[in-house]
Structure 1
Amino acid sequence: MFVSAWANANIQIYPLKGIFGLEQGCRTDPSNYEENGSSIVCDFSQAIDNEIIRKQAETLFLQGLKQGFGDQVVDNISQKTKNRTYIASLEVLRASEYVVKKDSTTEIFLPVTLSLKLTNVLSGEVIYSDSATLSQPIQVLTTDIDSPATKAAIKQKFQSTLLTLTNQLTKQLKSKFKVSEIETQVIDRWKSYLVLDKGFKQGITVQDELSSIDGDLIRVVHADSDYAVAIPILMQGRTKRFSKLSTNTRQAMNKPKVLVVDVLTYQGESEDLIEQIFSDAVGEQASFTLTPVNRRYSAMAQSISEQTALAQSEDINQRELPEFFIRINVIPVIDYQQQIGKITQQQVLHSEVFAEMIDRSGRVIYSAHATDDIKEVISEGMGFSLEARKEVVLKNALLKLGQQFQKGIQFTRSDLKVLSSSGHNITIDDAGERLSTGMKVHVYHSDKAAGRNILIPTWEATVLERQGARVTAQLDFPVNSSDRLPVRSGDRILLDSSAPVGDSKQSRVLCPSLHTEQVGEIPFDGFGPLIYHAFASQSKRPFYATGSGFKGQALLKDSVIAMTENAGFKKNMKVNFFVPKDECLQPVLKVEVKQDSITCNADKSNCDATLVMASGARIFNQKSEKIGAYGLQQEIELEGIDHQYRNEMYNIQMFEALPKILNQIVQTADSSQ
């Protein structure tokens, strides 16, 4: 049964005191950035480090929730109500300062983005998230920029912005939040597994946690079209009726789940905001479902245990990791403002973003790259600041990136047979090459229950190696710890995949101990991500994300572990990705201006030049010995370069030229094997 009314859904909302997002420090200099730096300026943190303002925000938050939901807003959480209680929290995603000088006056823009989330108190899953941005500028005399009066005006504006956004988001929650309650019942038991009468067509999906009115909790481990199989998490008796709350559409139910585990930034961008823009662009039409999580769940759980009678217990941090992961890499936006007339200027901005989808073995199954440009002529003292336009060009690039993921990935369900079992190893028939070394899979046993054929997931296993069409996997642990069932010939492996994986012995990876080598007089941030994307997207050989990262980027394993520690997933999970050993790649770039190639007009505002680029990758074996290299050298003729902005212009030209060159290198590398 689907129930759409809030009152009938019988859920509770607990408003969490405090404002999240400020715990990782702030940016002292609004114009100074570093990789993975704070998206919040210290002027904002100091402005709301004020008991009166925080109390006002808490009061607005509570009043707005109670106006919308009445007595469903509670001031405590107990063991009996925890399964149906959702945490309402406020989180600052970013707070910035942009200074635009206009002769004798200066405008200071102060954009703030605030988010309201509803989070499952037990799992950390976010069932609702909304954000709003407000930028209220102040105008001061240029000579007064650093005066106490200006500092006070900035403080007051940040405070009023926080209160305005709190009021706006809370009032919109009632109309925007659409929730349904899905009820199901136990129709049979198979050993210690529970068989439910609804499946993904009715809204029940894998990893759902269902609760009863008595506080019992079960987790779905397999969902077919019209039935599901669950295991007990907390069972006091033999309850038969369970339910879940859902904001998903039914079309999202039978899709692989994907988790964004890392967002790499360099200019103080909000990671949460980037993920939100990307997720919105992916949308509901994609062949996968993004798993929404609260990255600050651990801090929230601690705060909840301090504010309520609910102690942290064995029923939290129990979520399993999904089948796939996504990493996003945001290259610093290139921007400059060039004088082109007596009172006119041209603003030029260029954004490059990358993302990849990775399976549980660490193999990249999809890689995408998107760009966006803004070129706009403005009159002096008019138009938006470069900082404001940066946000626009980055958002446009992220929207394109998300749309590529929506259209570019198609999953198919594979049903493979277990040929034999010996000890902790099993042999699987995989003529279609869907399994890759290191991949995590589930073993299913077929049997009858409730008068129908059902599949029971019995073991999680890791793929060890391939010999032709036969794959060996190691049994890791039983899906249900109460049952250690033997694996038999004829048991099945079900998995979602996008394409044949190829031979893992031919796999490539960036060398774990060698970072990109780059020489020359022109700084360029994009080469590592560009060549990585070229090999991941264009090569016929498998490419793994388990090697070295880019500047400031955590290793894949560390990113996933961080999610298990902070976002409600099982703690102490063994995260073991496959790292190819036979050979690895070190990206190498040398770029310089060809000697005597520069010719300019008198004021150097219009120059011609020739760039010489040598790009490629060195190959190393497992002994760290260089055994070869792939590469090309190419000259790029440039015209109309303004000497003052030459590095920015060179960078844009290299971003345009390198993808074709690198694709040629990948083709050469594949053909040379």
Structure 2
Amino acid sequence: IGRTCRQGQEEMKRGLLACAVFLTGALNAAPALAASALKLYPVRGLFQPANDAGLIHAAFRDAVPAASGGAYFQDEFRKAFPEAVANVADKDRRFTLVSSVQIARASSYTVDKVDGTVDVLAPVSGSLYFTNAVSGEVLYTVAATYYARATVARGALDAARRQAMFQEAWQGLVAELLARARSQFKPHTVAATVKRDWNGLYLLDRGRDGGVAKGDLLSDAEGNTLEVVHAAPGYAVGTASLGKISKGASFARETNADLNELKRPRVMVLVDGVPDGMPAEIVGQLFTDQLGARAALSVVQVNPLFTQVLETAFSSTALSNEHRGKRELPDYFLRLNVPESRSFELPSSLKNRSVRSYRTVATAELVDRSGRVIFATRGADRSDDQVVAGMALDEASRREVSLKNALLDLAARIGSELKFEQSTLALESNAPLRLQDRDGMLAPGAQLTLLRNIGRVDGIAGEVRVPFQDTAVERVEDGAALLDAGLALTGAPVAPVVGDLALVDSVNGVKTATRRRFAACGPAEQLGALALPAFGDLAYNGFAGAYRAPFYSPAVFARVQELVGPDTRFKARLAPVAAAPDYCAQAVYRIDPGPATCGGEPRVCQDHATVRITWRIRQGEQVVARSGLETKVAGAGYLEGAPAAARKNAFDSDLLDAAGKLSGDIAAGLNNQKFNSP
């Protein structure tokens, strides 16, 4: 393992993706739990998804059986965290984190070399989770990939050698995950004191600025628990979840996040599409790591194999399945998709040299709990490698680098473009419930909470607004939104009165062009013979980002329910479908190739095409508006006689880039259309 990692460090100095670098010094750090009530229990198991879509090589399963792999992980975990407990006492269940390792990918491939040898690579990707045994909250997770490498004579790789490489990669991965965890897991306590009871709601003296956020579960020394249903900068409001809540009692939770992260709105990442050979879990974690401190969001992690982890823990500890916490889903979901990731190689004008290129595009849409897309953007990577006399970096590793670069670009764009703003809207009538909305911020289906200003409370600075009713927008009028009867948050219902408030989050201060609701009509329509399969994803992402109207993505609900089943300990309070749209948008594209042009010495050619993009706005079967643009595209040059497949891949990448930009420009122009005015 040490030899493999030294090779990796030398390659990384040259800017290449290589095996993990051990953080051995971190293993000697001060105990991570020295000032924490938390206890760590390593689960004796090696967890893998039931349906791995061929991502886990059969030789890995033979080389690292679940029983021995789980034993190895548990032993190594106890070396890294000697304070880990050997059992889980019932009294400690709320403060116990079950630690588990989960494998997402184990693959093997070869790269032929001109000297008759073969480079063999065996990457193994996995994640380490620290998950609360009662609530299912993931306090810490880290993902890594370890590459075991060997050079053998062509045809000399036998089953025993491949299994040995997988054993090496597995052990290297465990060491990397534990080293990072030892260095990064530094839990601390966030505490608040109950200052007052208001109609069955409890007012706490710390809010977002003190690390308390909506959805938090806080417990006192006796195990009584409250759930935070509202958090302002200087205070929070909770409701009893378990036991008795007393004035003056201190309630706390453990977290591994810093204060700046705790202040941000919470979001759950939903991975919708990934490149071939890459597991969704790893892509999601790579993106989350890139997002980091760049964006005004805090990611809520989900342990997808939590049920399997607990079942294994139940069999070897005093932990039981009788105690289950339930926590609230976040207010936002971020749909991540990688619709385009390809590579191709074209000859160059220099002898024995060619250029291997990588193209990756990643998109993201931020969706609220009503299914409305409130922000959308995309990132991309275009990388080129020189291939000399057939010698180059292995293609699989470089494709992974291109993916990381695209995710990095996407995260940077989210960080620079996404800004949250909060507005206060007042109730102007309570029969019916009518909310002021002069800027047209609300659309049918929008979910709101009504708040009552109760003045000052001892121990809390400033005036206090208390949430008392959840509600939703039924319909909109010019300058106002009408609300449904809603659901009381208080022990006894509190009747709304004129002057009660609702807080509305908006993005980037953009006012809507219309409050009519839009959604996608369906897949993009292709006219002509040339197809761009990734175009539809890019087109609808561009439409959602450019068109200032309520645009809905109802498919997000299915993805949320798929990710957060009942055993992940989330409340299932999402609406099953979004409100029916008033209009739908349909992307149509046509690409007409033109003749290639060649010239010069050596002869260099260029491909040409005309790209036409149209958006149709439909109301039922009727097209009520359409708008389109056309552009001429000239591809990058290539030597005459270059492989046809490589030429097509290269030109398709250029066409997709042009078509995606054109689609967004058309959508922005639709903001001036008057057909959809309220």
Using a 3 Å threshold, how does the CA distance of structure 1 residues 194 and 10 change in structure 2: closer, same or farther? same
Superposition deviation, residue 245 in structure 1: 0.7
C-alpha distance 207-264 of structure 1, shift in aligned 2 (>3 A): same
SS of residue paired to 1:7: coil
Report the CA distance shift for 1:60/1:170 in structure 2 as closer, same or farther (over 3 A).
farther
CA separation in 2, counterparts of 1:134 and 1:70?
Answer: 24
**C-alpha distance 370-171 of structure 1, shift in aligned 2 (>3 A):** closer
CA-based RMSD: 2.8
Note if contact 1:436-1:504 (Cα within 8 Å) is conserved in structure 2.
no
CA distance in 1, matches of 2:52, 2:657: 36
Distance 1:157 1:420, change over 3 A: same
Q: Which residue of 1 aligns with 2:19?
A: none
- Give 1:577 shift: 4.6
Is the alpha carbon distance of 1:532 and 1:177 closer, same or farther for their aligned partners in structure 2, counting shifts above 3 Å?
Answer: same
Q: For the Cα contact (< 8 Å) 1:252–1:284, is it kept in 2?
A: yes
Secondary structure of the residue aligned to 1:436 is: coil
Which secondary structure does the structure 2 equivalent of 1:407 belong to?
helix
Verify: 1:432 aligned to 2:439, yes or no: yes
Cα pair 1:200 1:253 within 8 Å, conserved: yes
Partner of 1:543: 551
> Equivalents in 2 of 1:362, 1:562: separation in Å?
16
Match status 1:467 vs 2:465: no
2 CA distance for matches of 1:375 and 1:66?
Answer: 44
What is the rounded CA distance, in whole Å, between the counterparts of 2:131 and 2:609 in structure 1? 52
Partner of 1:561: 561
CA-CA distance at 1:308 after TM superposition: 3.5
Which of 626, 629, 643 matches 2:626? 629
**2:518 matched residue in structure 1:** 508
Deviation of the 1:97 alpha carbon: 2.4
> 1:493 and 2:528 equivalent?
no
Contact in 2 for aligned 1:372/1:396 (Cα 8 Å): yes
Distance in structure 2 (CA, Å) of the matches to 1:578 and 1:414 = 23
Partner residue, 1:552: none
| 3-state SS in 2 of match to 1:269 | coil
Question: Per-residue deviation at 1:41?
Answer: 3.4
Greater CA deviation, 610-619 or 206-215? 610-619
Q: Which residue in 2 is equivalent to 1:669?
A: 670
Asked if residue 140 in structure 1 is aligned to residue 141 in structure 2, the reply is no
Deviations 1:152-194 (A, max 9, x none): 2112211221123223422443332111112333232223222
Q: Structure 1 residue 335: deviation in Å?
A: 0.7
2:218: which partner in 1?
210
Give the AA of the match of 1:430: D
Aligned to 2:367: 358
State the Cα deviation string for residues 59-111 of structure 1 (Å, max 9, x = none): 44333433444444232242x21211111110123223232112422222111
SS of equivalent to 1:329:
strand
Distance 1:101 1:619, change over 3 A: same
Work out the CA distance in 1 between the residues paired with 2:603 and 2:222. Answer: 76
Alpha-carbon deviation of 1:218? 1.3
* Unaligned runs of at least 5 residues, structure 2: 1-30
Once residues 567 and 592 of structure 1 are traced to their aligned partners in structure 2, the CA distance between those partners, rounded to angstroms, is 51
SS in structure 1 opposite 2:441? Answer: coil
Moved more, 339-348 or 119-128: 339-348
* Cross-structure match for 1:40: 56
Cα displacement string for residues 547-591 of structure 1 (whole angstroms, at most 9, x for unaligned residues): xxxxxxxx2120122233167353442424534533212222222
Q: Give the secondary structure class of the aligned counterpart of 1:400.
A: helix
- Paired-residue identity, %: 24
Deviations 1:360-394 (A, max 9, x none): 22222111111111112121342311211101111
1:258-269 paired onto structure 2 within 5 Å:
258-269=267-278
Contact 2:45 2:71 in 1 (8 A): no
Moved more, 631-640 or 101-110: 631-640
Contact 1:361 1:437 in 2 (8 A): no
- Is the contact between residue 5 and residue 180 of structure 1 (CA under 8 Å) also seen in structure 2? no
Which AA in structure 1 matches 2:465?
Answer: L
Could you tell me whether the CA contact under 8 Å between 2:123 and 2:146 is conserved in 1?
yes
Determine whether 1:407 maps to 2:411.
no
Q: 8 Å contact 2:450–2:471 — kept in the other structure?
A: yes
CA contact (8 A) 2:127 2:144 kept: yes
Alpha carbons of 1:583 and 1:467: their partners in 2 closer, same or farther (altered >3 Å)?
same
CA contact (8 A) 1:81 1:215 kept: no
- Alignment partner, residue 659 of structure 2: 658
- Give the drift of 1:405: 0.7
1:613 is aligned to 2:611? yes
CA distance in 1: counterparts of 2:394 and 2:36, whole angstroms: 47
Pairs within 5 Å for 1:156-195: 156-195=164-203
CA 1:168–1:269 in 2, change beyond 3 Å: closer, same or farther? closer
TM-score normalised to the size of structure 2?
0.86
Residues 72 and 110 of structure 1, relative CA distance in 2, 3 Å threshold? closer
Measured in 1, the distance between the counterparts of 2:492 and 2:539 equals 47
Change (3 A) 1:658 1:237: closer
- Per the alignment, residue 34 of structure 1 pairs with none
Contact 2:226 2:239 in 1 (8 A): yes
Query: 1:618–1:468: structure 2 CA closer, same or farther, 3 Å change rule?
Result: closer
**SS of residue matched to 1:416:** strand
Which amino acid is 2:612 matched to? A
1:472 partner letter? L
Q: Secondary structure at the match of 1:405?
A: helix
Q: Distance in 2 between matches of 1:237 and 1:461?
A: 26
Which has the higher mean CA deviation after the structures are superposed, 212-221 or 624-633?
624-633
Instruction: Single out whichever of 114-123 and 607-616 deviates more from structure 2.
Output: 607-616
Whether the aligned pair in 2 keeps the contact of 1:138 and 1:154 (CA below 8 Å) is: no
